[in-house]
Structure 1
Amino acid sequence: MGVFDGVVSALRSAGCVFAEEEARLLLAEASSPGDLARNVQRRVAGVPLEHILGWAEFAGRRILVEPGVFVPRRRTELLVHEALALLPDAPQPAPPVVVDLCCGSGAVGAAIIQQAPWVELHAADIEPSAVLCARRNVGPMGGQVHAGDLFDALPPALRGQVRVLVVNAPYVPTEAIRTMPPEARLYEPVASLDGGPDGLDFHRRVAAGSLGWLAPGGHLLIETSQRQAGGTSAILAAAGFLTRTVHSEEVDGTVVVGCLAAGMTQG
């Protein structure tokens, strides 16, 4: 049995669904046979592939990720797509302000600024390891990353200036975390997963807190699940947003988009 087939066999036995693809990546990134053996052993033990490689594929680019940082999912590419659709497709006299809240690795913000480099991008997270990782991904592209709890992290000068606010906050119901795959349950911070009893605690906080930060006509976009979309939409509607829900079968992503109704901004 060749090296590739041996790696595939080990990964498949461990339950890796995409064993062939993962084997190719592990072989390509290994610096020596010993390095390959260690990485295969780690993957078999359940360590996320992205933490082993040091990067994740997201929206057509490599996003640097590190142990202890939430790994960006392909479904979140829908959040990027919907945000870009709300932004001008050419530079403006005043750069539109985009905020990536609960940014994790900064994947969403990095994908947005890559395709719309004329925006003024701010990202924020409460986890120190995520902030450091996001700065590696967003900083070289001209974005700024802030540390703190939700809106407390943002510079006060952004109040009333945010054109698009994208949020991939934790939305897994607390009791459902124990049913998640080991890669997430054991190797990603619980704080990046736990959305409270119904998974919508952060959506309530974001909807209420966003009113003072969005510009007139600004939009709030929140990733959620298909099952929870009705709850997320109701939360935004109760806060004064006009809402619509977008779902992509291709990436299995769901986003609730809220636009502020007239007169709803506040200082």
Structure 2
Amino acid sequence: MNKWISLVLGAFLLGASPSAWALTADEIMQRVNDREDGDNIVMEMQMVLINKNNEQRVRRMQQYRQDKGEDSQSVIFFEEPADVRNTGFLTYDYDDDSKDDDQWMYLPALRKTKRIAASDKSGSFMGSDFNYSDLTSYNLSDYSYKLLKENDKVDGSDAWVIYSEPKNDDVKEETGYTKSVIWVRKDNYVVVRAKNWVHKSPDIKFFEFKDLQQIEGVWFSSEIKAQRRFGKEVVHQTILRQQNIRLNQNLEESLFSQRRLEQGL
């Protein structure tokens, strides 16, 4: 997964303190990738879609996520407004780098479950500024990294600035990004800001992970802002708020099935 994005819909666990010696970009990103993110999570989410005229649409969802061995499973059910109610999104996120993650979208108006093909993962998730690819894991070996800045500040916290670029065109096509600049907090290896160049587009996408809170030792970003820009113009933006976060819940395996996806909440 692009763990720094997909954990937007997950969690950040406080890692060990950074080492006294300087770390390379690859070592930093390995620690970001290796950080634990909780065994299972239940949360409410609010997604606010804002166009360039500042007109807003608000969507409310429930998300459930659990680990299954080294893999993870996640399901999102849309509750409001009425035109998207019972829309569902299911993800199987595999630890095996050689295995593609699986994603399915259930559209109640069509009474149909659609599998998200690899070629479609760069597309917009429900009209938002998050791609389908943003909601699954990434493989470290697919990217090259370079440390741009050893010391920077984000909201008063020390951070590294890292340049990331896919090693081949297939990754660019699937993720929808040609390169990224990432800000990683030094005290907990949480990505707090990112700048992504959109593939085959002049647009740039900015992500901010705001209002970090710690719940049972796990760091969550209470508000995530994704903004798409053309030059200095904001074309569209999405604000995702995570609320009523609960860890260590008893979740049934059947919750993460296509059958349950089609039943809704």
Same topology, TM > 0.5: no
- Normalised TM-score (structure 1): 0.31
* Greater gyration radius: 1
- Normalised TM-score (structure 2): 0.32
Structure with greater proportional strand content: 2
Higher relative contact order (CA 8 A, sep 6+): 2
